[in-house]
Amino acid sequence: MDRMVFLASSGADQFSNAMAINSNNLANASTTGFREDFQQLRSMPVFGDGLPTRVYAMTERPGSNFANGPINQTGRDLDVAVQGQGWLAVQGGNGAEGYTRTGSLHLSAEGLLQTSAGLPVLGNGGPITIPPAEKFNIGADGTISFKPLGADTENLVVLDRIKLVDPDTALLEKGNDGLFRQNNGQLAEPDNNVKLISGALEGSNVNVIESMVNMIELSRLYEMKMKMLKTAEEIDESAASMMQV
């Protein structure tokens, strides 16, 4: 009896975790550049003194879906989408370099080029700061050019270049901050083959219909585990009644 209760309770708990991962995917179905998280469940033996006679369920996030999302034209100068494979390098909240596909950029009051989440975009020498300018342009190779205020020429001055990288996706892991980093702790090298599309944004790669179907399946499995717990309780009550006779 205890085996049934242990398996059902651990299974219900892990199915709840799987639903949380799936819910997060659905919540980010319209988030720019979002990469869907996978989830899987497997049975794990409980090791200890004696033989492993108990098994519990475990939810894992084995990785992320690196398929590209749809490209949507916005016409906004500060919107960029990575064409094909590649990433924008940004500075995370902890100061460490991370990689994102979110290309909805803006300038802070100090002229710091940031993502929509307020993360500084990295260039050749660190975070990119753009001085007051009449206009500026982000090229396909990430080069940032601008026309200084009061300049009597139409020629743009090259300021910096956004760090664009294309590391092996097998090495990439998503952190709790939503940024990707290499699991070997190394920083990705700039890749000249990565190109940007100006005036466009990449949408999320979450398949809403597929995620909804997955949520329904997980909900049914969770209900099944709860029914197992109820059945175990009824069997225990029946056994207790027989013992009282």
Give yes or no: residues 231 and 181 share one domain: no
d(CA 105, CA 16): 35
Give yes or no: residues 58 and 102 share one domain: no
d(CA 73, CA 175): 29
Give yes or no: residues 193 and 147 share one domain: yes
Count of domains for the chain = 2
Give yes or no: residues 117 and 9 share one domain: no
* Beta strand ranges found along the chain (DSSP E): 40-45, 55-60, 71-73, 80-83, 87-91, 97-100, 105-107, 113-115, 122-123, 126-127, 133-138, 143-148, 157-161, 164-165, 172-174, 180-182, 195-198, 200-202
DSSP state letter for 43: E
Give yes or no: residues 79 and 119 share one domain: yes
Give yes or no: residues 106 and 178 share one domain: yes
Of 164, 149, 178, 171, the C-alpha closest to 31 is: 178
Taking the whole predicted model, whether its pTM rises above 0.85 is answered as no
Structure tokens at 184: 């070997």
Give yes or no: residues 95 and 184 share one domain: yes
Q: Which domain holds residue 101?
A: 71-202
Give yes or no: residues 76 and 103 share one domain: yes
d(CA 81, CA 10): 42
**Which helix (H) or strand (E) is 13 found in, with range?**
helix 2-27
Of 103, 104, 119, 99, the C-alpha closest to 168 is: 99
Strand partners, 126: 123
Give yes or no: residues 152 and 191 share one domain: yes
Q: Residue 227: what pLDDT? A: 80
Give yes or no: residues 122 and 34 share one domain: no
Give yes or no: residues 75 and 57 share one domain: no
Give yes or no: residues 186 and 102 share one domain: yes
Instruction: List, for the chain, all residue ranges whose pLDDT scores fall below the cut of 70.
Output: 1-3, 5-7, 10-11, 40-44, 46, 48, 50-62, 152, 236-237, 239-245
DSSP 182-233: ETTSPPPPB-TT-EEEETEEE-----HHHHHHHHHHHHHHHHHHHHHHHHHH
Residue in this structure with the two tokens 């975070």, named with its chain if needed: 127
